[in-house]
Amino acid sequence: DADVTQTPRNRITKTGKRIMLECSQTKGHDRMYWYRQDPGLGLQLIYYSFDVKDINKGEISDGYSVSRQAQAKFSLSLESAIPNQTALYFCATSSGIGNEQFFGPGTRLTVL
């Protein structure tokens, strides 16, 4: 079984809808991250969490919110989706600062 899983893997939604992307990990890592990837822009950090009580904004957090339900679960929400949030979204984990990051398989989100 994969160490970092994401659901759903693909999602098509309409402008204005609320949507949640979920991430679970079995690696026992404290740190979890949400990135988005756009063609030509590389990966950008949306939010990150160093433990259940510590959540921090990344470089592109506007329009997104997160919830760290447990050490193993980190969810990303789009409160009111817009077309320019169409992208590939990745969850990642690490065991500590400066340590290797492990990525999930990604969620392809399309906002019409």
Residues near another protein (CB under 8 A) are 33, 40, 42-43, 45, 48, 56-59, 88, 90, 92, 97-106, 108
Is-cis flag, bond preceding 83, omega within 30?
no
Secondary element (H or E) of residue 34: strand 31-38
Taking the least distance from each CB to another protein, the nearer of 15 and 51 is 51
- Residue 80 Cβ vs another protein, minimum distance, rounded to whole Å: 24
- Residue 108 Cβ vs another protein, minimum distance, rounded to whole Å: 7
Taking the least distance from each CB to another protein, the nearer of 59 and 62 is 59
Please, are residues 18 and 81 in contact by the beta-carbon 8 Å criterion?
yes
Q: Max Cα separation, the chain? A: 38
Taking the least distance from each CB to another protein, the nearer of 48 and 81 is 48
- Residue 69 Cβ vs another protein, minimum distance, rounded to whole Å: 22
Closest by CA to 23, choosing from 93, 96, 112, is 93
